[in-house]
């Protein structure tokens, strides 16, 4: 089992505490003590989840803070009978996706589209496709610079191994190795994401 999958299972199993309906009712009514209880029990696991996916303590900390701001701002919409576990991770996921889409718009990470264009995707699949696109972009942003560059040249620019090798002054075998590692990096981040949300 890969380190990423082990980390995912550790995170998915790290919450023994389950907020009671009474605590969630109090939170929904604006009780600050209830909010502190939720924050103190869930902040760590949510932060670990975000760090596992982003690879950055700073980014994970910022998004975790935003997660609990959203919880407080939307406290009146909480359903105590439904619990808060899934809600927290859904908020974390959405904020993480927003962060990486914003990074994409700022030109800070490379977008992978593969062989299928967005026009080919059915409307009901579009949301999932956009999430996968963002996750792939996140994986690329974590790669060594040269690997991400080769990945973009191959998939975004349509260059073949020989063209990339000539452009970068390396051999074709090195290009092939980087692309194989890039695909493995992407598989790991997608597997971790699926694993955590299966348990969440």
Picking from 18-22, 97-101, 103-107, 157-161, which range would have the lowest pLDDT averaged per residue?
A: 103-107
- Cβ burial of 1 (10 Å; 0-12, 13-18, 19+) is exposed
∠ Cα 16 197 66 (to 5°)? 80
Cα–Cα distance measured from residue 193 to residue 49, given in angstroms and rounded to the nearest whole number: 9
Cα-based distances in Å from 92 to 27, 35, 103, 161: 19, 17, 17, 38
Mean pLDDT calculated for residue range 29-40: 92
Cα–Cα distance measured from residue 107 to residue 120, given in angstroms and rounded to the nearest whole number: 24
- Residue (of 138, 155, 127) closest to 55 by Cα position: 138
Q: Name the DSSP letter for residue 63.
A: H
- Residue (of 40, 53, 44) closest to 14 by Cα position: 44
- The tens digit of pLDDT for each residue in 57-98 reads 888 899 999 999 999 999 998 888 888 888 888 888 888 878
pLDDT at position 193 is 63
User: Comparing 155 with 31, which gets the higher pLDDT?
Assistant: 31
Which domains are assigned to the chain?
1-108 (1.10.1740.10), 111-200 (1.10.10.10)
- Residue (of 18, 139, 11) closest to 82 by Cα position: 18
Cα–Cα distance measured from residue 75 to residue 4, given in angstroms and rounded to the nearest whole number: 33
pLDDT tier at 157, thresholds 50, 70, 90? confident
The H-or-E segment that residue 25 falls in is helix 21-28
Task: Give the other-Cβ count within 10 Å of 193's Cβ.
Answer: 22
Only one residue has tokens 């303590």, namely 57
pLDDT tier at 130, thresholds 50, 70, 90? low
pLDDT tier at 129, thresholds 50, 70, 90? low
Cα–Cα distance measured from residue 127 to residue 133, given in angstroms and rounded to the nearest whole number: 10
User: Comparing 200 with 183, which gets the higher pLDDT?
Assistant: 183
pLDDT at position 164 is 94
Average pLDDT in the chain? 76
State percent of the chain over pLDDT 70: 70
């Amino acid at each position: 089992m890969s380190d990423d999958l082990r980390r995912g299972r550790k995170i998915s199993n790290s919450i023994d505490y389950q907020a009671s309906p009474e605590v969630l009712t109090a939170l929904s009514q604006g009780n600050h003590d209830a909010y502190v209880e939720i924050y103190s029990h869930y902040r760590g696991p949510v932060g670990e989840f975000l760090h596992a996916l982003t690879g950055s303590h700073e980014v994970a900390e910022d998004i975790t803070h935003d997660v609990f701001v959203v919880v407080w701002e939307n406290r009146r919409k909480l359903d105590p009978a439904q619990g808060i576990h899934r809600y927290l991770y859904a908020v974390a996921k959405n904020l993480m996706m927003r962060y990486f889409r914003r990074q994409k718009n700022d030109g800070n990470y490379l977008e992978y589209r593969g062989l299928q264009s967005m026009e080919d995707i059915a409307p009901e699949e579009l949301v999932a496709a956009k999430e996968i696109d963002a996750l792939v972009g996140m994986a690329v942003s974590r790669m060594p610079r040269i690997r991400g560059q080769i990945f973009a040249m191959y998939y975004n620019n349509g260059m073949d191994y020989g063209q990339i090798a000539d452009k970068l002054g390396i051999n074709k075998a090195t290009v092939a190795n980087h692309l194989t590692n890039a695909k493995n990096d992407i598989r790991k981040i997608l597997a971790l994401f699926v694993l955590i949300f299966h348990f969440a």
